[in-house]
A = this chain, B = another copy of it.
């Protein structure tokens, strides 16, 4: 999916919501555990319930891998289901990969050729040649970790180097030499608040994938005030607070309501902050 197509979806749906599919067998409604493939059954219902209110889905690979083969199968089926039923949704494999060149090439093949997602999250620690192999696919995206939403983001991401440049700023600066804003997005946690202002100085036009509202406590209004640009430039992710809002037989209706609530807030934000 291109940048322009993504923006069109955002305008059409008045939403920049990404629903995180962190599907955990210990948290899904009990009645689904009797199904052949409970993870897929859960995802399918969540997707059908939330698709009108979001523009993207983000399966988190850890949750699928932890179920071994069954988990991988559920991941592949989930992506195929979205592709077939909701072809306008942007699909992100939240995998946080990154390795030496020949290995990153394999990961790129896994996600873009085998699983056929639109984007993969990638960790920057190993530098340019660990990221480049993901950039060889037209209309596919790398979403590079910059400032994450967790407490540990303080440990290294803010380390100041020459001229006071912090590590996340260095990653932002260097990575812009690897590809443009039509192939790279950045992960910036909603919990980073005003940092969005600093990031927009260095990367005014890039899309940012923003986890951390909801269960992790970030503010949607703050993210939009500091982070929105003329093509929205934000995909705000919510996982647990939508998909686990309820775990009875009514879970889909409750998840749908939660997604809709966020969509309504997002429409408001677009009115206020779309530049």
A49 on interface, CB distance cutoff 8 Å? no
In chain A, residues 42-94, which have Cβ atoms closer than 8 Å to a Cβ of chain B?
A: 60, 62-63, 65-69, 72-73, 76, 94
Check if A128 sits within 8 Å of B151, measured CB to CB. Answer: yes
A103 on interface, CB distance cutoff 8 Å? yes
Contact of A96 among B60, B99, B102 (CB under 8 A): B99
How many chain-A residues does the 8 Å CB contact rule pick out? 59
A202 on interface, CB distance cutoff 8 Å? no
Check if B62 sits within 8 Å of A69, measured CB to CB. Answer: no
Which of A9-17, A167-175, A250-258, A259-267 participates in binding chain B?
A: A167-175
Chain B residues near A167: list those with CB within 8 A: 156, 159, 167
A154 on interface, CB distance cutoff 8 Å? yes
Check if A150 sits within 8 Å of B101, measured CB to CB. Answer: yes
Check if A126 sits within 8 Å of B97, measured CB to CB. Answer: no
A141 on interface, CB distance cutoff 8 Å? no
Check if B76 sits within 8 Å of A69, measured CB to CB. Answer: yes
Check if A127 sits within 8 Å of B107, measured CB to CB. Answer: no
Check if B106 sits within 8 Å of A126, measured CB to CB. Answer: no
Chain B residues near A101: list those with CB within 8 A: 150
Chain B residues near A34: list those with CB within 8 A: none
A145 on interface, CB distance cutoff 8 Å? yes
Contact of A66 among B22, B66, B110, B151 (CB under 8 A): B110
A109 nearest in chain B by CB position = B66
Chain B residues near A65: list those with CB within 8 A: 106-107, 110
Chain B residues near A100: list those with CB within 8 A: 148-150, 211, 216
A36 on interface, CB distance cutoff 8 Å? no
Chain B residues near A126: list those with CB within 8 A: 96, 123, 145, 148, 150, 152-153
A105 nearest in chain B by CB position = B62
Chain B residues near A115: list those with CB within 8 A: 68
Chain B residues near A22: list those with CB within 8 A: 102-103
Contact of A123 among B125, B129, B157, B216 (CB under 8 A): B125
A130 on interface, CB distance cutoff 8 Å? yes
Please, how many angstroms separate the alpha-carbon atoms of A260 and B63 in the complex? 40
In chain A, residues 126-183, which have Cβ atoms closer than 8 Å to a Cβ of chain B?
A: 126-131, 145, 148-157, 159-162, 167, 170-171, 174
A24 nearest in chain B by CB position = B106
Check if A145 sits within 8 Å of B129, measured CB to CB. Answer: no
Between A and B, 10 residue pairs with Cβ closer than 8 Å are A22-B102, A62-B103, A63-B103, A66-B110, A66-B114, A96-B99, A126-B150, A127-B154, A129-B150, A156-B170
